Each structure stands twice: as C-alpha cells, then as structure tokens.
Amino acid sequence: MILSLKLNNNPLGMSDHCVLKFTCQFCIELRKNKYKLKLDKGDYNGLREFLDINWEIFLLACDITVEEMWNKFKSVMFDGISKYIPKGSARVTNVKKLVNPSLRNYLSVRIAELRTLIHKKHRLWNRWISSRNDTVYNDYT
C-alpha cells in the first residue's frame, strides 16, 4: 500500500476544524466464492465421529513445530468439512429485488425529505454562526 501525505498551501486552522488532506492509493483483490457451505444440511454426527481421534497422539507423533501441528489440524478439519458438510452455489442476490417496490418508493421519498431537512438545518447553523442572531438560532433549534 502506498500512502502519500499532501499538505495544501492553506495552513491548518483556517476554519473551526483542523483538516489534513491525504491521498491513499491501494488495490484490493476481490474474490468471489464459487460455492458456500450449507451448514444447515451438514451431517454433524458423521463429522463428530470423523474428528473423534486422539489429537495428542496425532499431533505429537513426530517432533514438529506448532505451525506444522496447526497445518495438520487444519488439514484434518477441512477434510472432515468437505466430506460431511454439503456445498451449494453462492448466489448473489440483487438487494433491490428484496424490497417491495412500494416500500422502496416510500423510503426514497423519506430519504429525500431527510436530506432536505438536514440541508436546511445546516444552512441555519451557518447563518447563525455568521450572524449570532437569536431568531436564527431559535429557527435552528
């Protein structure tokens, strides 16, 4: 990750907040799973029997490091999961389809009203900061 800090020509403290501006450039690799585990359909009794081994003997059979023990444990665990927990395709659902259209319209109207009220309150605050007029402050509150 490359991080560059860029200070403007404007000095800090020119407003009622101290502000630092910086640019952060990074790359994220997105991976989509082709499948997901169907945990509700798993054969947990079978998995329990599969994992019913003497772990102390299994992990301490050779003189190995903790990292190697962890890898052995993970290997056995993933083998058991792949045998006893079925997999299904990972579907991506469209969120817009999940919400009833009339509810979606209602919410979009309410969100627009909220934005208008927030904008109005912000304008009143700025007007009161510049004028310190009591009537403007009363409108703000």
Per-residue pLDDT reduced to its tens digit, 79-99: 999 999 998 876 655 545 555
For the cut 90, the answer to whether the pLDDT of residue 50 exceeds it is yes
In one-letter notation, the amino acid at residue 51 is L
CB neighbours (10 Å) of residue 90?
A: 11
**Beta strand residue intervals within the chain, DSSP E:** 2-5, 22-25, 35-37, 87-89
Mean pLDDT of 122-140: 85
Mean pLDDT of 27-34: 65
With a threshold of 0.95, does the pTM exceed it?
no
Q: Which residue has the tokens 């994992």?
A: 51
Beta strands 87-89; 35-37: pairing state: antiparallel
Per-domain residue ranges of the chain: 100-141
The H-or-E segment that residue 116 falls in is: helix 101-131
CB of 53 closer than 8 Å to CB of 73: no
